[in-house]
Amino acid sequence: MTATKPSHIDEMRQLVDLMFDQQIDARGMERMQTLMSQNQECLQAYVQWLDFHCELLDQSDQKSAEAVTFDMLQQLSVSRPPEEARYYWKAILWLVACQILLAAGLGWAYYSTILVPPAVGTIASLSTDLQSSSKPLELGQIIRLRQTILLSRGIATIQLPHLMLDIVGPASMRFERGNRVSLSYGTIVAKVQPEGIGFTVKTPETEVVDLGTEFLVEHTSEHGTHVSVRRGTAQAKVFDWHGTPTRVLDLTASRAAQIQQSSRTAKEVGYSAERYRPVDQSRAGIHRLTGALRTISETPASLASEQLTTPNHMLVIPERQVVLPSELIVDGFSGPVTLPAGATVSSYLIHYDPTALIYFAPRGAVTFGGNISALIVGSAGLSATDDLFGLPGVAFESREFRQLELDEDEIQVSDDRKTISFFFGMSPPEFLDQVRILVIEGSE
């Protein structure tokens, strides 16, 4: 578009002057319409000069620019011949439409550049059974300030600065600030690093402030708010009906409290580690998933072939955490691996069992908090460690095809030994692929 001549903008201002002086004729109205339709700067000049005149009129009833323009053009039209009056009414509608379109355009530009809420975190993990009542959630999706997360079921993990936040559905949670969320209902588990001290969860009854901890907050309309601290310390402020703090409960590790506004009670109750089970079962020490990896929220009965199919994704399943009473040698990806006595080892099983209708294999990666010590990819090594590291009561495949086919399956560990990436091929007639990952805890 060529640059607008200054005379066009001046001409537009002169035409607006004539319009407000009620001296404009049909030709002038037509010229005004032509200038606005052919050049955006003239349209902007029209709006700006219109606002200027409206301020000069000093409307006592505080009418908008659109209302003043409408009244003024209506006065012009009633003093004109019928044919010219009809033209003025068309002009009124056209000018108001232009104002609305311009305001919408300027408003969108203002929203997109200034009012877009800042990012507070990203989706780090999703369970396979996740159902969101709001827009669909995806791995890596940016979560913004004032955004509400609505889950019908499943578990979503959000990575914030110095904080991992697990939301267990059904739940409704809103990000009020980068370090503050409000929980309408449901359960959240927060694991806060020392740099994130001060993170706050607000419910109708209480405000839970992190003092360097891992804690759980659950709220229901029937039972109120339950606060549980697994590690560290948290402080629960109790509020009355008017939102005024009335009491403070300091909770340390393995302590819990129940706050109920209806009965105006706030008391310590028995601590139960079972409340953390859904999150531990789904994510455990997983920090981040990318690609086509998902977690589970329920322990499967069987991981044998065709018992838990994964047509569009791979599963990473947290298994047992074992403190080794003695040195343990396992058959690793590149040969024997020795795990030292006394080490705390967490096991994770990658499970991929697509159907014959899948035409491409997914890719994905998983990042852990500890160091990856060993990868068990062979059938013999998997079977030898099923009893020690596998989930109790789960049936495993005994045939050799559960192992990786190294000529077509790809697996790579990052230099810092925190992240492992996968690409599993598909060789009929059996599609099952599994890998057991052993992570040494306390090696962050």
Least confident interval from 72-86, 173-187, 286-300: 72-86
Model confidence band, residue 9 (pLDDT cutoffs 50, 70, 90): confident
- Nearest CA to 94 among 157, 30, 139, 148? 30
Q: What is the pLDDT of residues 218-259, one digit of tens each?
A: 999 888 999 999 999 999 988 777 667 778 889 999 999 998
- For residue 430, pLDDT over 80 is answered with no
Answer for the pair 234, 244: CB distance below 8 angstroms, yes or no: no
Least confident interval from 109-113, 127-131, 212-216, 316-320: 109-113
Give the distance between the most distant pair of CA atoms in the chain. 104
Cβ-proximal residues to 284 (8 Å cutoff; 6+ apart), any chain: 318, 321, 346, 348
Residue 5 confidence (pLDDT): 43
Axis-axis angle for helices 65-78, 6-20 (nearest 10): 70
Answer for the pair 285, 370: CB distance below 8 angstroms, yes or no: yes
170 cis-preceded (ω within 30 degrees of 0) = yes
Mean pLDDT across the stretch 356-367?
A: 76
What's the chain's length in residues? 444
β-pair partners for 124: none
Residue 2 confidence (pLDDT): 43
Angle at 259 between CA 258 and CA 261, to 5 degrees: 150
- For residue 59, pLDDT over 70 is answered with no
Residue 405 confidence (pLDDT): 77
- For residue 428, pLDDT over 90 is answered with no
β-pair partners for 66: none
Handedness of CA 285, 291, 295, 300 (dihedral sign): negative
- For residue 290, pLDDT over 70 is answered with yes
Mean pLDDT across the stretch 32-41?
A: 76
β-pair partners for 371: 440
Q: How big is the chain by its Cα radius of gyration, in Å?
A: 32
Q: What is the pLDDT of residues 73-100, one digit of tens each?
A: 555 455 545 555 555 555 555 555 555 5
Residue 160 confidence (pLDDT): 93
- For residue 109, pLDDT over 50 is answered with no
Rounded to 5 degrees, φ, ψ at 337 are -125, 130
Domain locations in the chain as residue ranges: 6-115, 119-278, 284-440
Residue 425: CB atoms within 10 Å: 14
Q: What is the pLDDT of residues 327-348, one digit of tens each?
A: 999 988 888 999 999 999 999 9
Sole residue written with tokens 């590291």: 389
Residue 275 confidence (pLDDT): 94
Model confidence band, residue 198 (pLDDT cutoffs 50, 70, 90): very high
- For residue 264, pLDDT over 90 is answered with no
- For residue 387, pLDDT over 70 is answered with yes
**How does DSSP classify residue 292?**
T
Percent residues over pLDDT 90 in the chain? 43
Residue 87 confidence (pLDDT): 53
Q: Which CATH number fits domain 119-278: 3.40.50.880, 2.60.120.1440, 3.40.50.10490, 2.102.10.10?
A: 2.60.120.1440
Residue 298: CB atoms within 10 Å: 11
Residue 6 confidence (pLDDT): 47
Q: What is the pLDDT of residues 20-35, one digit of tens each?
A: 656 677 777 778 778 8
**How does DSSP classify residue 276?**
G
- For residue 116, pLDDT over 70 is answered with yes
Cβ-proximal residues to 267 (8 Å cutoff; 6+ apart), any chain: 257, 258
Integer Cα distance of 372 and 332 in angstroms = 11
- In whole numbers, what is the pLDDT of the chain averaged over residues? 81
Residue 20 confidence (pLDDT): 61
Task: Identify which of 29-38, 49-58, 162-171 has the greatest average pLDDT.
Answer: 162-171
Integer Cα distance of 313 and 423 in angstroms = 11
352, with CB counted inside 10 A (0-12, 13-18, 19+), is buried
Mean pLDDT across the stretch 300-320?
A: 89
- For residue 37, pLDDT over 50 is answered with yes
Mean pLDDT across the stretch 142-165?
A: 92
Residue 243: CB atoms within 10 Å: 8
